Amino acid sequence: MKLTDRQIKNREEKVRDKSLSMAERRKAHAEIVDAMMNPDEEFDPSTFDPMKETEGYDVKKRKRKAPPTRLPTMGILPKEILEGQMVGMFESKQDLYLMLAHYINNLLDRIEKLEEKVDNSSGQKK
């Protein structure tokens, strides 16, 4: 749902208005969130690009394509994980990506080794 600036302000006022019921306030908040999360009325996942309205878009534009089998890390490891009640709070997007890439690539290596083992053992039995 696309909302005008005026409609968004109206819903923000409803969210703050304690004389309204909680259900009305929550509905107004949900409409604001829906408008933020779904800005494009004619959404097409194959062409979706939230940057298309920015200056210099034709230079910055990146094409959508399937990711490589292995996630690239350029040999960079994530920073050490800080453990405590605020675990994950201070991790950068880069470190989260690098952690995921490290574990996913490690799992892919282990899967390949297991597949080789299965292929070799099934080939010997025939």
| Structural domain that includes position 41 | 5-57
Same domain, 52 and 72: no
Same domain, 52 and 70: no
pLDDT above 90 (res 29): yes
Same domain, 53 and 101: no
Same domain, 50 and 70: no
Query: How many domains in the chain?
Result: 2
Same domain, 46 and 70: no
- Looking at residue 123, its pLDDT comes to 74
- Looking at residue 124, its pLDDT comes to 67
pLDDT above 80 (res 119): yes
| Cβ atoms of 23 and 47 closer than 8 Å | no
Q: What's 46's DSSP letter?
A: T
What average pLDDT does the structure give for the chain? 89
Which of 39-43, 94-98, 118-122 has the weakest average pLDDT? 39-43
- Looking at residue 87, its pLDDT comes to 87
More confident residue, 81 or 109: 109
Same domain, 113 and 81: yes
pLDDT above 60 (res 126): no
Which of 44-48, 68-72, 93-97 has the weakest average pLDDT? 44-48
Q: Take residue 36 and report the two structure tokens written for it.
A: 């933020």
Q: Take residue 32 and report the two structure tokens written for it.
A: 């604001």
Same domain, 118 and 92: yes
Same domain, 43 and 83: no
CA distances from 63 to 52, 67, 71 (A): 12, 11, 17
Same domain, 93 and 45: no
With a threshold of 0.85, does the pTM exceed it? no
CA distances from 54 to 21, 27, 42, 102, 103 (A): 39, 31, 18, 33, 35
Distance CA 112, CA 37 (A): 38
Same domain, 75 and 49: no
* Closest residue by Cα to residue 105 from 66, 76, 65: 76
Same domain, 39 and 81: no
Same domain, 10 and 52: yes
